[in-house]
Amino acid sequence: MGAGCRRHGVSEADRTLRRPTDLAAAGLIGAVHIAELELVTARYALALPPALARLIDPANSDDPIARQFVPDTRELTHAPGELADPIGDEAHSPVEGLVHRYPDRVLLKLLATCPVYCRFCFRRETVGQGEGVLSPEALDRALAYIAERPDIWEVILTGGDPLALSPRRLEGVARRLAGIPHVKILRVHTRLPVAAPERIDEPLIAALKASGKIVYVALHANDPRELTPEARAACARLIDSSIPMLSQTVLLRGVNDNVETLAALMRAFVEARVKPYYLHHPDLAPGTAHFRLSIEEGQKLVGALLGRVSGLCQPTYVLDLPGGFGKTPVGPNRVRRGTAGGLEIEDWRGSVHTYRAP
């Protein structure tokens, strides 16, 4: 991890796996694959913490947890149309570490390291490279930019994983945001409650609340098994401290591309008091073609959730448009103009009904 990230003394059996040789020693890959996967990890960082490594079934070649986090030689095959900056962060970055795509909110990228590296990460060209912590000078410029623009209502901490910072550093940023009165909302995007749930502790929670803002935490999880009892307890510590939680999920081939898994995941979120928020269509990041579905396939899956699960469990299916044009909902359109007037509307069973306003 970069400077300012917490380091915990752990036994050999409970340390984060960072090299293909570590994966082989843990029985997650065969020794015959070490050399070829070293080529992958030389290009894209590897980190697999024990909380997630323990969920992998080595006997299952299609294990969805392994698919998300264990390197694959297909990552070195870059398909036509894939982009180093697939959602156009750079086009909307007025100062280092800041993305200002929408009028009332900004992304603040405090660091470029994570407790776990997803093999489909849309920032994989920058995340996990070097120390990756935003310099004090760059942070000063980013906070000055926010302070000078009263339209900025929300600051979203991202990265990398902002909760990989030490509580001391996180509290320092939060206290500086406290001095910007027009910022009302602080949102934090993280995988930490599932990747290292023990690190959601009182000092970290106190650091988040030091901003004096309304704080939301958005949790990224893609498979219901990620919401272990330990992960749910970590979420409960945040929520019981008056920090509401939302979810973010990426729709991934071979991980959650069936309605049973998606339904189980969304229900698991709600049971953990985490409100389903976004279901992301996978971005055009290099070397991730084996994860991508078509939007039509995604629409069918999202349509199948309607009626199958409670309204509390319905995420918004979105595409982050390449080029920096922002997110747009791409869920199934169930309304069309009828040929005899009125609207034809499809219900959750697939039946079509005519609706005419009085």
**Mind listing the pLDDT tens digit for each residue in 278-292?**
999 999 999 999 999
Reply yes or no on whether 336 is catalytic: no
Reply yes or no on whether 105 is catalytic: yes
In angstroms, the CA 161 to CA 140 distance is 20
How far is C-alpha 342 from the geometric centre of its chain's CA atoms? 41
User: Domain of 109?
Assistant: 79-333
Kindly state whether residue 192 falls inside one of the protein's structural domains. Answer: yes
Catalytic, out of 121, 213, 216, 235? 121
Catalytic, out of 102, 176, 237, 275? 102
Catalytic, out of 5, 114, 235, 313? 114
Reply yes or no on whether 320 is catalytic: yes
- The answer to whether the pTM exceeds 0.85 is yes
**Mean pLDDT value across the chain:** 94
Alpha helices in the chain (DSSP H): 20-25, 34-43, 50-53, 64-69, 136-147, 167-178, 192-195, 202-209, 229-239, 259-271, 295-305
pLDDT-derived band at 3, boundaries 50, 70, 90: very low
Reply yes or no on whether 161 is catalytic: no
Model pLDDT, residue 131: 62
Kindly state whether residue 351 falls inside one of the protein's structural domains. Answer: no
Catalytic, out of 5, 118, 235, 313? 118
Task: Determine the angle formed by the axes of helices 167-178 and 136-147, rounding to 10 degrees.
Answer: 30
Residue 335 parent element (H or E):
strand 335-337
Residues forming beta bridges with residue 154, ordered by sequence position: 105, 185
pLDDT-derived band at 81, boundaries 50, 70, 90: very high
Kindly state whether residue 343 falls inside one of the protein's structural domains. Answer: no
Residue 157 parent element (H or E):
strand 154-158
pLDDT-derived band at 11, boundaries 50, 70, 90: low
Reply yes or no on whether 145 is catalytic: no
Q: How many residues does the chain have?
A: 358
Reply yes or no on whether 235 is catalytic: no
In angstroms, the CA 349 to CA 256 distance is 22
Kindly state whether residue 61 falls inside one of the protein's structural domains. Answer: no
In angstroms, the CA 63 to CA 72 distance is 13
Assess contact for 47 and 249: CB atoms under 8 A. Answer: no
Kindly state whether residue 306 falls inside one of the protein's structural domains. Answer: yes
Kindly state whether residue 24 falls inside one of the protein's structural domains. Answer: no
Reply yes or no on whether 101 is catalytic: yes
In this predicted structure, the answer to whether residue 4 has a pLDDT above a threshold of 80 is no
Assess contact for 273 and 239: CB atoms under 8 A. Answer: yes
In this predicted structure, the answer to whether residue 201 has a pLDDT above a threshold of 50 is yes
Q: Which residues make Cβ contacts (< 8 Å) with residue 139, sequence separation at least 6?
A: 97, 110, 173
**Domain holding 321: CATH number?**
3.20.20.70
Kindly state whether residue 253 falls inside one of the protein's structural domains. Answer: yes
Is-cis flag, bond preceding 160, omega within 30? Answer: yes
Reply yes or no on whether 114 is catalytic: yes
Kindly state whether residue 66 falls inside one of the protein's structural domains. Answer: no
Which of left, alpha, beta for 114 (phi over 0: left; psi -120 to 50: alpha)?
A: beta
195 CB-side CA count, 13 A: 22
In angstroms, the CA 156 to CA 104 distance is 11
Work out how many domains the chain is built from and give that number.
1
